[in-house]
Copies of this chain bind each other. A is one copy, B any other.
Amino acid sequence: MAARNQDTFDKAKVYAINIMASPGAGKTSLILKTLEALHGRLRLGVIEGDLATSIDTDKAIAAGLPAVQINTGGECHLDAVMLSNALPSLPLSELDLVIVENVGNLVCPANFKIGTHMNVLIASIPEGDDKPYKYPGMYRGVQALLVNKIDLLPYVPFNMDYFRQGVEILNPGLVTFPISAKTGEGMEAWADWLVARVKNA
Contacts and interface: CB of A to CB of B under 8 A. Distances in A.
Contact of A51 (B50, B107, B151): B107
Among A24, A130, A156, A157, the most chain B Cβ lie within 10 Å of the Cβ of A24
Copies of this subunit? 2
Contacts of A152: 126, 152, 155-156
A104 B106 contact: yes
A28 to B, nearest CB: 9
A137 interface: yes
B106 A105 contact: yes
A124 B152 CA distance: 14
B23 A127 contact: yes
Contacts of A50: 134
Contact of A24 (B22, B107, B137): B22
Given A22-B104, A51-B134, 11 more contacts: A22-B22, A24-B124, A50-B134, A52-B134, A52-B135, A55-B134, A74-B107, A76-B108, A103-B107, A104-B106, A151-B155
